[in-house]
Chains A and B, each alone.
Chain A
Amino acid sequence: AQSVSQHNHHVILSEAASLELGCNYSYGGTVNLFWYVQYPGQHLQLLLKYFSGDPLVKGIKGFEAEFIKSKFSFNLRKPSVQWSDTAEYFCAVDGSSNTGKLIFGQGTTLQVKP
Chain B
Amino acid sequence: GAVVSQHPSWVICKSGTSVKIECRSLDFQATTMFWYRQFPKQSLMLMATSNEGSKATYEQGVEKDKFLINHASLTLSTLTVTSAHPEDSSFYICSARDPGGRTEAFFGQGTRLTVV
Hey, which bits of chain A sit against chain B, CB under 8 A? 32, 34, 36, 42-44, 46, 49, 51, 90, 94, 98-107, 109
Q: List the 9 shortest-distance A-B pairs measured between CB atoms, nearest first.
A: A100-B97, A100-B105, A43-B109, A44-B107, A104-B44, A107-B43, A104-B43, A106-B43, A46-B104
Q: Roughly how many angstroms separate A32 CA and B41 CA in the complex, as a whole number?
A: 25
Q: Is B93 part of the contact surface with A, judged by Cβ < 8 Å?
A: yes
Q: Roughly how many angstroms separate A99 CA and B46 CA in the complex, as a whole number?
A: 14
Count of A-B contacts judged by CB separation below 8 Å: 53
Q: Cβ of B34 and Cβ of A43 under 8 Å apart? A: no
Q: Cβ of A43 and Cβ of B110 under 8 Å apart? A: yes
* B26-44 to A contact mask, C-beta < 8 Å, 1/0: 0000001010100001111
- Range class of the B interface residue count: 20 to 34
Q: Roughly how many angstroms separate A32 CA and B43 CA in the complex, as a whole number?
A: 19
Question: Given contacts A32-B103, A44-B93, A44-B107, is CB(A101)–CB(B43) below 8 Å?
Answer: no
Query: Chain A interface mostly helix, strand, loop or mixed?
Result: loop
Please give the distance in Å from B18's CB to the nearest CB on chain A: 24
Q: Is B95 part of the contact surface with A, judged by Cβ < 8 Å?
A: yes
Question: Given contacts A43-B93, A49-B104, is CB(A99)–CB(B32) below 8 Å?
Answer: yes
Q: Cβ of B42 and Cβ of A106 under 8 Å apart? A: yes
Q: Roughly how many angstroms separate A36 CA and B34 CA in the complex, as a whole number?
A: 16
Q: Cβ of B46 and Cβ of A100 under 8 Å apart? A: no
A sample of 16 inter-chain contacts (CB < 8 A) reads A34-B104, A43-B110, A44-B44, A44-B107, A49-B103, A49-B104, A90-B44, A99-B32, A99-B97, A100-B34, A101-B32, A101-B34, A103-B46, A104-B36, A104-B43, A104-B44
